[in-house]
Copies of this chain bind each other. A is one copy, B any other.
């Protein structure tokens, strides 16, 4: 008894956005924005753990050193030495979450939320500008920079969409920022060895616009990040067990 595949897999026709919204009791026009306090706590706990691991581990220093001195480093810069890293003490606050129709993908829904971070996240580097004309190393200019992110605020859009690539049935998380995000930086600079220039405005401007460009090229609408998510299907190999702490008394 052979059944055609089409009669084995019984599924109704595709759902419209309106049906999805009604089956999840979400009225896009009247639903109040939702808080994400629980999410802020979980994220904060993960970030605190990351900062703590980085402290004891020095691995972050090594990876950052490799990235900074990697193949993209311009020839006119000597080796870049990291003089300071501060990963901050505060946590991003997500809030005001609401479902809206996607402006970019018709017929699709996304979640928009506000994100706000007030902290001091600092990277300090030292290097030397190498002037190689008319002869190699005809002049060498020491430069010290310290860049701090003080405040970030913006609106994040997220959604889950299937992977368009050929890899099986994976779901991806997509996220992007609206272009009205705000980034507050502080750039300190020290140029020269005998006569020094401090906090050169042009350098601060250059750094700020490079950072904005980096963000805009990757994650500001109409661009978005698309990350493949792992399967959440419970498997034996992803099963773990909490082991109760048996060391209550110190008899042994």
19 A-B residue pairs with CB within 8 Å: A5-B61, A9-B55, A10-B84, A23-B44, A24-B41, A24-B93, A25-B93, A34-B34, A34-B35, A42-B158, A45-B159, A46-B162, A50-B171, A173-B232, A174-B240, A221-B242, A224-B239, A224-B240, A226-B240
Residues of B near A110 (CB, < 8 A) are 42
The distance in angstroms between the C-alpha atoms of A108 and B241, with both chains bound, is 16
User: Are the C-beta atoms of A160 and B240 separated by less than 8 Å?
Assistant: no
The distance in angstroms between the C-alpha atoms of A106 and B245, with both chains bound, is 10
Which residues of chain A (105-119) have a CB below 8 Å from chain B? 105-106, 108-111
A206 at the interface (CB under 8 A from B): no
Do A45 and B20 contact each other (CB < 8 Å), given the known contacts A5-B61, A53-B169, A238-B227? yes
**Which of A96-104, A132-140, A179-187, A188-196 lines the interface with chain B?**
A96-104
The distance in angstroms between the C-alpha atoms of A234 and B11, with both chains bound, is 37
Residues of B near A5 (CB, < 8 A) are 58, 61
Residues of B near A25 (CB, < 8 A) are 37, 40, 93
Kindly name the residue among A99, A215, A226 whose own CB sees the greatest number of chain B CB atoms within 10 A: A99
The distance in angstroms between the C-alpha atoms of A240 and B162, with both chains bound, is 14
| Residue ranges of A at the interface with B (Cβ–Cβ < 8 Å) | 1, 3, 5, 8-12, 14-15, 20-21, 23-26, 31, 34-46, 48-55, 58-61, 82-87, 89-91, 93, 97-99, 104-106, 108-111, 122, 126, 158-162, 168-169, 171, 173-175, 215, 217-219, 221-232, 234-236, 238-242, 244-245
**Shortest beta-carbon distance, A52 to chain B, in Å?**
5
The 10 closest A-B pairs by CB, nearest first: A104-B242, A218-B234, A46-B160, A222-B242, A24-B40, A14-B52, A10-B86, A219-B234, A11-B55, A38-B111
User: Are the C-beta atoms of B161 and A54 separated by less than 8 Å?
Assistant: no
User: Are the C-beta atoms of A229 and B230 separated by less than 8 Å?
Assistant: yes
The distance in angstroms between the C-alpha atoms of A173 and B221, with both chains bound, is 28
